[in-house]
A and B are shown apart, each in its own frame.
Chain A
Amino acid sequence: MDYLYSILILIGLFIILASSFDLVIGHCGLISIAHPIFYAIGAYVSAMLAKHNIMPIPLAMLSGGVVAFVASALVAVPALRVSGDYLLIASIGFQLGLIELAKHIHEIGGAGGLTNIPSFLIRDYGRESYVVLVLVLAVLTVLFIKWLTQGPYGRMMAAMRDDELAFSMLGRNAIWVKVSVFGIGSGIAGIAGGLYAHYFRFLEPDQFGLLQSSAVLTMVVVGGLRTAWGPVIGALVLQLMPQMITFFNLPPSVLGPLQGLIFTGLVLVFMFKRPQGLLAAPVIWTGKTPEKRGA
């Protein structure tokens, strides 16, 4: 039963991650694949604050989200000052650099990983309560992003994404919109990181590398960019699929690369054969999907 709970929690966490990533890459059109590093920042900050009894766990999780928000702004502001392309490179440098840095800081466990992170809810209310918490937060995240992207803020993002020059000519500040969206997405990922840390109770820097980036990107691309439920479907499919592979009892040296190969291979197939993903994004002005429009 614990195995099932763990899978449900991972599905919930990846729904949060993929949805918040879709906000950044899909809705806002920002090019970054470093989303997992903000997940890592949230996880480590929350774990350290709770481990040293600096604050209660729920507050520690929120603090993790705040720190991830601030860190993302620190990356985005200088990079976006130049051009959107630089955000990708700066964020990759930030992601891999921070992982390398974390490996050398013994206070947060170094390369061996951070252990004995205090658990939340499980001792008093059982694992079911944590599953419910994560799934409820996942649903809330999806609804929040849907609300955000369908309102005036969403229309502003769409206008900026579609024609940044025209958007700027209207007196709007494109950099501010980009930084705020990047921050919101990263902050949500940071809170998800806190949820991860207090359930699995072990963090290792390499968990948050490019494999994780590929996985989250795959969920968004396969599910459908700029859709509310696309990342949900992507997270469900791509969390359940590797579980099936584990039944083959393959050695870890084969299992890891095979999962990576499937993730990246699926992205490539979808990029060329169905770039709109499993769910096609509705056209922002009409609310209709491209298929419906064409009909």
Chain B
Amino acid sequence: MFDVAVVSQILWTSFATSSYFVLFAVAFALVLKVNKVFNFAQAGVMTCGFYAAYVAVRLLEWSGFAGLLAGIAGALLMSFILEHFGFAVLRQRKASPMFVFIFTLIVSQFISYAIMLVFGTWPTTIFASMFWPVTLVGGIAVSAWDVPAVAATLAVLIALWVFLRFTRYGQFMLAVADNADLAELYGIQKNKVLMISMLMAGVIVAIGMFLYGSRAQVQAAAATELMLFAVASTILGGIGNIWGAAVAAIILGIVQNSSILFIPSAWQGFLLYAFLFFAIVLFPRGFRLPERANKLKRTIRAPDALVTKQEG
């Protein structure tokens, strides 16, 4: 069972399948960082993205690329509705965080029931077949899905980094994330920035759901579970740290998938909730890397140490 080839195969497959987990986690972390909302309605956006792609590819028989665009359009539309008719109104009314939480949860459930009513409760996939051709690379089976999925995730992450680092609106987003009121005083249109953040998260989850739906069966309530994985990753990665959430998602994805080596597959689903619970109990503020702490120690000298040096 612990044959090197088997372990390598499981590790590779786990890494490849963690690609969509990374996208869900990054989208969740982005909205939490900028909009300051634990957006459980992301599950609803994910569901809309998937079913828009499903309708395009399976029912209208469009191409896969057109299906991806349809998925993005569906998620964008839902994100716009959520922000414009939901969050913006609640912000204007100065709704309490509890009220906003309940809103996001109820919206995601509402969308899930609406989709169940229209499409039924049977699981489905974007493409008729979930099986992808396999190529052997150094004894490891790499499917035709794996490489594009990892590449797409990398491309999204790089694009997001470039956007946040080098574009005007990316900087505005970071400013709003840091201090929304102060950013507004400097002339940044807060509502516009919050809308952009929601729309960007919508695009990211739509790509994630397209990847997920082309490899696994999805039913209307599935997004809730996927989103909880994103929540666990965001907490473990450290709230406010988008890239930390991405790394945590990869680690959790690998741990969950490779757990098949140690526990029966029926218990794999349970691991997610164990992660979530223990993330909150043991690492509520996320992982803190010791190297970073040392670096800070070196750059910021303690005041009492400075005084001693001056006296000496």
Q: Do A and B come from one complex?
A: yes
Q: Which residues of A contact B (CB under 8 A)?
A: 25, 29, 31, 33, 78-79, 81-82, 85-86, 88-90, 92-94, 96-98, 100-101, 104, 210-211, 214, 217, 221, 253-254, 256-258, 260-261, 264-265, 267-268, 271-272, 275
- A264 and B121: CB pair below 8 A? no
A residues less than 8 Å from B107 (CB atoms): 264, 268
17 contacts between A and B (CB under 8 A): A25-B98, A31-B97, A31-B98, A89-B280, A93-B232, A97-B272, A97-B274, A97-B276, A104-B270, A221-B102, A254-B117, A257-B114, A257-B220, A258-B117, A264-B113, A268-B103, A268-B110
B232 to chain A, nearest CB (A): 8
Bound complex: CA A217 to CA B102 (Å) = 9
B284 lies within 8 A of A86 (CB): yes
Seed contacts A93-B280, A260-B116; 17 additional CB < 8 Å A-B pairs:
A31-B101, A88-B101, A92-B228, A93-B273, A96-B225, A97-B270, A97-B277, A98-B273, A100-B273, A104-B267, A210-B109, A214-B106, A214-B109, A261-B114, A264-B106, A268-B107, A271-B106
Cα(A95)–Cα(B109), bound, Å: 16
Residues of A within 8 A of B117 (CB): 254, 257-258, 261
**Chain B: CB-nearest residue to A257:** B116
* Chain B contact residues, CB within 8 Å of chain A: 38, 89, 96-99, 101-103, 105-107, 109-110, 112-114, 116-117, 120-121, 220-221, 224-225, 228, 231-232, 235, 266-267, 269-270, 272-274, 276-277, 280-281, 284-285
Q: B113, A90: Cβ atoms under 8 Å?
A: no
Task: Give the distance in Å from the alpha carbon of A82 to the alpha carbon of B281 in the complex.
Answer: 9
Is there an interface contact between A78 and B102, defined as CB atoms closer than 8 Å?
no
Beta-carbon contact of B106 and A217 below 8 Å? yes
The docked-state distance in angstroms from the alpha carbon of A188 to that of B70 is: 48
Query: Across the interface, do A253 and B280 meet the contact criterion of CB distance under 8 Å?
Result: no
**Is the beta-carbon distance between A257 and B113 smaller than 8 angstroms?**
yes
Cβ of B276: which chain A residues have Cβ within 8 Å of it? 89-90, 92-93, 97
Contact B38 A271 (CB under 8 A): no
Q: Chain B contacts of A258 at CB under 8 A? A: 113, 117
The interface residues of chain A lying within 8 Å CB-to-CB of B110 are 261, 264-265, 268
Residue in B89, B99, B103, B281 with the greatest tally of chain A CB atoms within 10 Å: B281
Contacts of B270 in A (CB 8 A): 97, 100-101, 104
Taken together as a complex, chains A and B put the C-alpha atoms of A246 and B270 apart, in Å, by 34
Of all chain A residues, the one with the shortest Cβ separation from B277 is A93
Instruction: Report Cα–Cα, A169/B242, bound state, in Å.
Output: 34
- The reply to whether A82 and B97 contact each other, CB–CB distance below 8 Å, is no
Query: What residue in chain A is nearest B284 (Cβ atoms)?
Result: A82
Tell me the bound Cα distance from A31 to B40 in angstroms: 13
Residue numbers in B under 8 Å from A92 (CB-CB): 228, 276
Set A29, A86, A93: member contacting B98, Cβ < 8 A: A29
* Bound complex: CA A35 to CA B266 (Å): 26
Which of B102, B120, B225 has a CB less than 8 Å from the CB of A271?
A: B102
A184 shortest CB reach to chain B, Å = 19
Question: Which residues of the partner chain B approach A100 to less than 8 Å between Cβ atoms?
Answer: 269-270, 273
Distance in angstroms between the alpha carbons of A94 and B232 in the assembled complex: 13
Which of B101, B102, B114 has the most A CB atoms < 10 Å from its CB? B102
Asked if B120 and A253 sit within 8 Å, CB to CB, the answer is yes
Closest 7 CB pairs of A and B: A97-B273, A93-B276, A260-B113, A257-B116, A264-B110, A82-B284, A261-B113
Residues of B within 8 A of A89 (CB): 38, 231, 235, 276, 280
B273, A275: Cβ atoms closer than 8 Å: no
Q: Which of A86, A101, A217 lies in contact with B280, CB distance below 8 A?
A: A86
- When distances are taken between beta carbons in the complex, the residues of chain A under 8 Å from B280 are 78-79, 82, 86, 89-90, 93
